[in-house]
Structure formats: C-alpha cells, structure tokens
Amino acid sequence: MKKKILEIFGLSKKKSHRPSQRLAPRARAMNLIKISLSDGSSFQSISNIVNISETGLQFTCYERVQPDQDIRMLINVPEAHEDIGIEGRLVWIKSKPAAKGVYVAGVQFKNIPDKTLQVVRKMVNGNFS
C-alpha cells in the first residue's frame, strides 16, 4: 500500500530504463567565468557552473546565446591560484522556468591541454591540496 501511495505522488524510487548519456562523473562548482563566442559576442558573468566534468560543463547565464557555436572560456579557479582557458562547443541552452531571464547552457570541451585537464580533474574530485 505504501509503495502505491508513493507512486501516485511521484515519490517512488523507480529505476530509469534510459542509459546515462554522461561520459564522465560531474561535480558542482561556482566560479567566475569569462566567455567569448564564435559569433563575436563576449560577456563576463559570475556564473554558477552547475556541474563540470572532464568532458564538459553546464553553466548559468543571463544572456540568451545560440547553440552550435564554438566557445572560449576563462575560468577562475582560486584553489589552483590560476585561471584556466578552455575551448569547447556550446551544445545546448534552455531557460530556467523558475527564474525568468536565467538560462542554463551545456558545453562540450574540445582539445583540452593536459595541464588544464589536471586542474579540471581536481575540480571534479575536490582535491586541491
């Protein structure tokens, strides 16, 4: 009976039959990020990096940007005492229904240098010591 009630209210622990599309584990982060897009626009935003992995990241922004273009990001990583530059492809963007004028965008990294990848790994694993 309890299981049925949980299902009615959408609180059951049903397992998804969809395979995960994640290529790597992700972690939450909050960093200052400066962005330049291949369409020539650029902006600086204190952005909540919703999550980051070795293959990409999601970030919030207040500008409606167009997907399917190259993106260059300069991410401040205080724990590493440096800014890291990452190039990628802006794959998707969607508005946040709960917050008018706020968007979430997904970026897939490309050609990430080994030194930068090491910093990203530390961000994901949370081990800056």
What are the tens digits of pLDDT across the range 78-129?
888 889 999 999 999 999 877 888 899 999 999 899 999 999 998 888 877 6
Q: Alpha-carbon distance 37 to 29, whole Å?
A: 22
Q: Alpha-carbon distance 105 to 125, whole Å?
A: 22
Residue 27 burial by Cβ neighbours in a 10 Å radius (0-12, 13-18, 19+)? middle
Position 20 confidence tier, pLDDT thresholds 50, 70, 90: very low
Residues 21-45, mean pLDDT to the nearest whole number: 69
Residues 61-88, mean pLDDT to the nearest whole number: 89
Is the pLDDT higher at 34 or at 20? 34
Q: Alpha-carbon distance 37 to 69, whole Å?
A: 7
Position 30 confidence tier, pLDDT thresholds 50, 70, 90: low
* 5 has pLDDT over 90: no
CA dihedral 87→27→125→33, nearest 10 degrees, is 40
Average pLDDT, rounded, for the chain: 78
Position 22 confidence tier, pLDDT thresholds 50, 70, 90: low
Report angle CA 36, 67, 65 to the nearest 5 degrees.
55
Domains of the chain: residue spans and CATH: 25-125 (2.40.10.220)
pLDDT value of residue 47: 72
Percentage of the residues of the chain whose pLDDT score is greater than 90: 32
Phi-psi region of 109 (alpha: psi -120 to 50; beta: other; left: phi over 0): beta
